[in-house]
A = this chain, B = another copy of it.
Amino acid sequence: MSRLLVASLDRFGPLRDGVRERLAASCLKTETFEPGQVILAAGGRSKLRLLARGLAIKVASLPDGGRQIFALAVPGDLLDLAGLFVGCDHDVRALGPCEVRAVSSGELKAMLQDHPSLLAVLCRAVLTEARVQRNWMASLGRRSAAARTANLLCEIYWRQKSLALAKDGQCALPAVQSDIADALGLSTIHIHRVMRALRDDGLATLRNGLLHIQDWERLSALAAFDPGVLRPQCEHESAGLARLGAET
């Protein structure tokens, strides 16, 4: 039952030397989480956790009581890359109800020892995550509240659509306005104003955990949305060292 895991890692680079079979045969423990529950606390030991269903957030609590959401995880995403070798510096929380599949710490260790190429694939996954993070940084630093919000909605919709989890311009987004605020570095009330403007302009609505994109063209234009940032590998991958990890 690990086809999801294989498919997920496959996006980051070809799996070689039998690691695909090993992954497919690996024993995955399934865990479920309620909305808001902590899936992985800061400092926790890393396993290899894959989000199978639902949405999750990677979030840090700041000393002054504020929260900053660093990333959003959709089904197929690995949840504890940040804690791969070192202690994780942030929490992972379920946004809506979630289902998580976990490879045990021991089995991951064994697989990494037997299949060096697995590390290259995980490394690429980390690099992809870092690239998405940089996109969020540019949003936080240099875009207006409306553009930031639009960009987030576009990203959420796009990623779920890539997984066939969206149709008719609709997808799940079990988040309240304060969650959006914590992701975008804005106040809850201002998010309300922005969302209201988006709704009044017929661009998008968020109600009862359901995101409805009514005018993708105008929304993505407002967001200056670039799907390329989200792709696991960029177009230069075939040049130079790109395939290196797969060849080792």
Contact = CB atoms under 8 A, between A and B. Distances in A.
A127 B87 CA distance: 10
How often does this chain occur in the complex, in copies? Answer: 2
A19 to B, nearest CB: 13
B46 A240 contact: yes
- What does DSSP make chain A's interface, helix, strand, loop or mixed? helix
Interface in A114-155: 116, 119-120, 122-124, 126-131, 133-134, 136-138, 140-142
A240 B46 CA distance: 7
A215 to B, nearest CB: 21
B242 A142 contact: no
Most interface-central of A124, A133, A236 (chain B CB within 10 A) = A236
Contacts of A87: 234-237, 239, 242
Contacts of A67: 142
A72 to B, nearest CB: 13
A224 B63 contact: yes
B141 A89 contact: no
Interface in A205-248: 224, 229, 233-237, 239-242, 244-245, 247-248
A45 B243 CA distance: 12
Interface residues of A, number: 62
A112 interface: yes
Most interface-central of A63, A122, A126, A224 (chain B CB within 10 A) = A126
B86 A137 contact: no
Most interface-central of A13, A108, A242 (chain B CB within 10 A) = A242
A237 to B, nearest CB: 5
